[in-house]
Structure 1
Amino acid sequence: MLKFFSPFLYVLGSIVHFFKIPSPQGGFIIRFPSFMTKSELGATLFGGYEKHERKLIKKYLEKNDFVLELGACIGVVALTINRILTDKTKQVSVEPNPQMLPFLTKNLERNGGKFFVETCIVSKLPEVTFFIGGTAFLGSSTLGGGQKTVIKGKTLNDLIDEYFDFTALIMDIEGGELDFFRSFDLKNSKIRLIVWETHCKPHMLSEIELHECYDLLTDQGYKFREKSGDVEAWSRII
């Protein structure tokens, strides 16, 4: 179906690119990167970007949560989170890709976001090799093929010490989910909710690796709640 509409989306994307037209997404006005393909830019005009994450966040996130978001990208999900929270400053959104930061910052300012932005990668390593572009759409610490750069690593406890204890984790890190769950035992954390994109696809997570994620979450007391597209919500009672 998408292939059928591809010429139409290409034309729309060309117009968006030439006139630098922002896109409406869930009540926000969002500027997308001009280096996206023309068809991708055209598709943004229909407002469905990250719709599955937004759906589950709206359903399960509570207004008094303290949120850590990994993989903020250009800020659509980050702004959705921020709109829900009573205290808008109780959110830390992490985006290590230097190409995305100008768009994240501009979209934050344009839409009145009040959250903190971190440019690290959450890891036990002091430095992490990160690939900009390549196999993943906008960048990944696990996939090669793009421009290589080195990003500072911070542990989960580093962020807790710098900001506050988190009660909700929102995660879209392009195949890095298993590394995160292996590295950080959330059993003794205050995180009650995890909304994450599973990325079970070639060059990201295999079926076996995805089920290891499930086993780790279950062992740490989390239960599956709902799935929308490739995004899942898990929670536990603290």
Structure 2
Amino acid sequence: MRETTKPKPRRWYRRVADKVLSENRIQQMKSYVWRFKKDNWYIGRYIELTGDVIDFHGVKVSLDNPLIRTRAKSLMYYGWHENDEIDYTLKYLDPALPTVEFGASIGALSCITNRHLQRPTEHVVVEANPVVVPTLLKNRELNGCRFQIISAAVGAENALIEFQIDDHLESRISSGGDSRVTVAAIGLKDILKHRGFQTINLQIDVEGAEIALVDDELETLRAHVKHIVMETHARFLTGDGTEKMLEKLERAGFECLVAATPSSPVVVFRNRALDGPTRAE
């Protein structure tokens, strides 16, 4: 009796098709899950009705702020917010060193960092947006954290910086728009001077102002900063300013430990000149 079999090319095609269809279904399901968690008004409303406070990577975070849209709260509820900054902070920042954070927002990362530090009082966070600062203060109290809050923009001390306030916690330097505020500025050099810090960790998330920070304070960075965890914002900016900033840091002696990728704009640098044991503070 003649045995009937499928032609080999057809069997091969079927195996490939089954695999592709299976992978496509998996990606489709992941997309549905992401959309459900990213912008879910019902989850956000549930958070608001149950106190507007969530557990976030081991800390309590109040989301009671007019700049946080109801539907955006679901993203933090599921822990999908600043994940790379959190991971790199815990992995790379030296817990024995004082730490300065520019762009603290509502303080989720600030509270996690403060618990990571051996000396939590040697921690300074800077936030420019006056609408955000009350929530930052509340989150510090909720977690018993001991960082100092400076309400200022990054820049030369006592200069005035005007910027645009957007919704869901973003603020960018701008001369247009209706929601503009003007605040005093402070630089890294000034903070080091006032607090007497010598060698520090530095966290930066300032919606594009990181380019000016590196331009203005490169020598201060080189002399005093051992590790940098920074979110870059090339996706919001025109030109090659971000690329030049990163090259400038490398020429100044900073080694890139983590580079930005299309899915993550966060970079990590280590100052080769400050490698070795922590310097006495």
CA contact (8 A) 1:57 1:195 kept: yes
Counterparts of 2:211 and 2:120 in 1: how far apart (Å)?
29
CA contact (8 A) 1:133 1:146 kept: no
Which of 106, 110, 132 is the aligned partner of 2:165?
132
Higher relative contact order (CA 8 A, sep 6+): 1
Shift of 1:179: 1.3
TM-score (norm 1): 0.90
Counterparts of 2:189 and 2:77 in 1: how far apart (Å)?
39
Counterparts of 1:127 and 1:83 in 2: how far apart (Å)?
32
- Residue in 2 that maps onto 1:197: 231
| Residues matched between the structures, number | 235
CA contact (8 A) 2:123 2:147 kept: yes
- CA 1:137–1:75 in structure 2 vs 1: closer, same or farther (change >3 Å)? closer
- CA 1:227–1:25 in structure 2 vs 1: closer, same or farther (change >3 Å)? farther
Which of 77, 92, 95 is the aligned partner of 2:127?
95
CA shift digits 1:171-209 (9 cap, x unpaired): 0001111111111123542101110001121xx334611
Counterparts of 1:112 and 1:6 in 2: how far apart (Å)?
29
Identity percentage over the alignment? Answer: 22
Is residue 2:107 matched to residue 1:75? yes
CA contact (8 A) 1:198 1:230 kept: yes
CA contact (8 A) 2:38 2:74 kept: no
TM-score (norm 2): 0.77
Gapped regions of structure 2 (runs ≥ 5): 1-30, 275-281
Provide the secondary structure at the position in 2 that maps to 1:38: coil
CA contact (8 A) 1:23 1:47 kept: no
Counterparts of 2:37 and 2:59 in 1: how far apart (Å)?
25
- CA 1:144–1:83 in structure 2 vs 1: closer, same or farther (change >3 Å)? farther
Q: Which amino acid aligns with 2:270?
A: S
- Residue in 1 that maps onto 2:267: 232
Pairwise mapping of residues 36-51 of structure 1 onto structure 2 (< 5 A)? 36-51=68-83
- CA 1:76–1:211 in structure 2 vs 1: closer, same or farther (change >3 Å)? same
CA contact (8 A) 1:121 1:151 kept: yes
- Residue in 2 that maps onto 1:174: 207
CA contact (8 A) 2:258 2:269 kept: yes
- Residue in 1 that maps onto 2:40: 9
Moved more, 9-18 or 100-109: 9-18
- Residue in 1 that maps onto 2:217: 184
Moved more, 224-233 or 57-66: 224-233
Larger radius of gyration: 2
- Runs (4 or more) in structure 1 with deviation over 6 Å come to none
Moved more, 43-52 or 140-149: 140-149
Alignment root-mean-square deviation, CA: 2.2
Shift of 1:43: 2.0
